[in-house]
Amino acid sequence: MRKFLLIVPVIFLSCEGPYPKDVLPPEKLKDVLFDITRADELVDLSSITDSTYRGNQKRYALYDSVFRIHGVSKRQYERSREWYQSRPDLLKPLLESVRDRTDTSKKPKLPPATKPV
């Protein structure tokens, strides 16, 4: 009976999976990070063309939209980011995936338009 009582907690603890409950799985975080990156690019581009643009205000509004679209809270995103930063072995492939997805130089280029005859 004692052995049974020792094994049961181990089974329940091992069922949690590789990620804590409040940490986003890699695929979900990839999507959130991709959209955060796109929001940053939009704000940065707008700031270049308009010196009166309120970049930080717009940036935080876009972040809130990204969180709402993906159904995550700011706290959940921040906790996930902190957890992955403490695990470089998992963070590196995740960030490389986001980088590859945003890298426009790797996207196929369209052929030049032909003039009608």
- Per-residue pLDDT of 65-93, as tens digits, reads 999 999 999 999 999 999 999 999 999 99
CA angle 32, 92, 63 (to 5 degrees): 20
Range of 6-10, 14-18, 79-83, 104-108 with top mean pLDDT: 79-83
The mean pLDDT of the chain is 81
**Strand locations in 26-91, DSSP E?**
none
The pLDDT of residue 48 is: 78
pLDDT(26) > 70: yes
* Confidence at 115, pLDDT banded by 50, 70, 90: low
Buried-state track 59-75, b at ≥16 Cβ within 10 A, e below 16:
beebbeebbeebebeee
The count of C-alpha atoms lying within 13 angstroms of the C-alpha of 59, restricted to the half-sphere facing its C-beta, is: 13
Question: Average pLDDT for residues 45-59, to the nearest whole number?
Answer: 79
pLDDT(46) > 90: no
- Per-residue pLDDT of 89-102, as tens digits, reads 999 999 999 999 88
Q: Where are the domains of the chain?
A: 29-101
Q: Name the percent of the chain lying above pLDDT 70.
A: 74
